[in-house]
Amino acid sequence: MTAPEPHNPPLSRRAARLQRERDDERALAADPVTDAAPSQPAEASPDEPREVLSHTVPLPVIADPEPDVTPDSAPAREVVLGAAAPLRSRTPGRRSSTGPTPIRVGARRSAPAPTRRAAKTAELMAPRSAPARHARGRSVARIGVVAGLAVVGSLVLGSAATVTAAVTGGPLFGIAAGRAAEVRETIEPAPTARLSVPLPAPAEAIPAPTVEAAPAALELCAMPAFTAALAAGDDAGAIAAAGGAVAFRTSVAEGTAPCVALDDPARVWVVINKTRPLVPVDHFPGSLATPEGVRSTEGGTLRSDAAAALSTMVGAASSAGVGEIALESGFRSYSTQQATYSSQVSAQGVAEADLSSARPGFSEHQSGLAGDLVACADGCGTLDDLGASIQGQWIVAHSWEFGWITRYEDGYTPITGYTPEPWHLRYIGVDLARAYHEGGWHTLEEFFGLPAAPTYLQ
């Protein structure tokens, strides 16, 4: 039998093993193992030198399957696998010795040192021992964490790529069956309905707003009812025709009622102060009367409408149980006021006299619309006693109900020009007195929008 030609080693360990098994089977089929035969050539002497070829392939050692025989007890036997042809050397011109190479079965031989490649192959083929339980848990946990991070990373990168592609209109990439597949998605813009909306015509000019004036001011003097009441001397009727005391006061204060004269001493709304004298300066009221049911310490009188109002107020105070209120001084003529002022100047001087007494022609007493009141019990007190009395407190709270106001209040001397006089009352009518009280006014100058009058003009 001719030895096989030299060939390249198998590509894998399994192929090498299969090749060896096939070679063994062919060798056994060609020359079965027999006992030592006479025709078998004698064993070569171990001392005889033999040529060792580097390309020879060692045959496998096949042990004789004999029961109960161990290698130590059984004699060494030779097994010849057929008559093998001499093997050809890879070196040209050289051949090996003829005859099969005997193999000692059962003889002990020292195992050759494994090569590096054989050791590596044995390490790879050897079964791995199972790791400790805690090590397996940590390994599984690490594998799970790594896998989770990989999945999250792929999702994040895929989402970012998808969003970028959707925004920029580029291709979308996806991963399917382990391969990257390019997916292009065309996003068609949604159709938008185009409506033809006509633009407004350009404005040539911005229209100015139309503001209608309030129908109060200048129309007040054009009202027949109002002018008729003025002509008849009916002050209450004129105020009613103007729409009430508040509307009347507003028109006068704003200067839109020129037909209303605040210096006419015949009207209840007349204003007399150090800059606004009576006209004429020696004015004398048309009708004077003594208030009924009112004690008069000096026999004073008032204009008829003021006298009637004082009588009503004094009777109401008495009915309320406040006590008696008397009239100390009412109307004073020009000549009487001249004498009164001269006596004050003689006693205090001009500066002090001007704070407590009016000069002739500048006194409200001369109009018949002002009165000085005192409180009486068994007898009547002085002017200075009224403010602290029960009657004086009642007058402050209720005099406006009867058309009277306190003309010179405390704290308003810079406007009126006079020191406080709680006893000096001024009659302006029930309608105007109500508006004066409810509006929180303290001086007639402020009520009608007039400048302050702290001193005389000359």
pLDDT at 19 > cutoff 90: no
For 359-379, write each residue's pLDDT tens digit: 999 999 999 999 999 999 888
Q: How confident is the model at residue 316 (pLDDT cuts 50, 70, 90)?
A: very high
Q: Measured between alpha carbons, how far is 24 from 322 in angstroms, rounded to an integer? A: 152
| Between 407 and 24, residue with greater pLDDT | 407
Average pLDDT taken over every residue of the chain: 76
| Alpha-carbon 127 to chain mean position | 70
In contact, 285 and 368? CB cutoff 8 Å: yes
pLDDT at 57 > cutoff 60: no
| Between 233 and 69, residue with greater pLDDT | 233
Q: How confident is the model at residue 36 (pLDDT cuts 50, 70, 90)?
A: very low
Strands 103-105 and 172-176: unpaired
In contact, 115 and 78? CB cutoff 8 Å: no
In contact, 274 and 448? CB cutoff 8 Å: no
Mean pLDDT of 24-30: 76
Single pTM value for the model: 0.55
Phi, psi for 453 (deg, rounded to 5): -135, 70
For 382-402, write each residue's pLDDT tens digit: 999 999 999 999 999 999 999
Q: Which residue is catalytic, options 21, 66, 212, 421?
A: 421
- Our answer to whether residue 421 is catalytic in this structure is yes
Helices within 324-439 (DSSP H only): 334-348, 350-356, 390-398, 413-416, 430-438
Structure tokens, 67: 């029961």
Rounded to whole angstroms, what are the CA distances from 139 to 130, 131, 145? 12, 10, 10
Which secondary-structure segment (H or E) carries 173? Answer: strand 172-176
Strands 404-408 and 421-427: antiparallel
Q: What share of the chain is helix, strand, coil (3-state, %, to 5)?
A: 35, 10, 50
Which residue from 346, 350, 296 is spatially nearest to 326, judged by alpha carbons?
A: 296
Q: Measured between alpha carbons, how far is 272 from 265 in angstroms, rounded to an integer? A: 8
Q: How confident is the model at residue 15 (pLDDT cuts 50, 70, 90)?
A: confident
For 139-181, write each residue's pLDDT tens digit: 556 677 767 777 666 666 665 555 455 545 544 444 444 443 4
% of the chain residues with pLDDT over 70: 58
In contact, 274 and 456? CB cutoff 8 Å: yes
Mean pLDDT of 102-118: 56
Which secondary-structure segment (H or E) carries 157? Answer: helix 133-168
| Between 382 and 118, residue with greater pLDDT | 382
pLDDT of residue 128: 58
pLDDT of residue 99: 47
CB within 8 Å of 255: residues ≥ 6 apart: 449
Task: For residue 453, count CB atoms less than 10 angstroms from its CB and return exposed for 0-12, middle for 13-18, buried for 19 or more.
Answer: buried
Which residue from 446, 293, 327, 443 is spatially nearest to 395, judged by alpha carbons?
A: 327
pLDDT of residue 415: 98
Q: How confident is the model at residue 45 (pLDDT cuts 50, 70, 90)?
A: very low
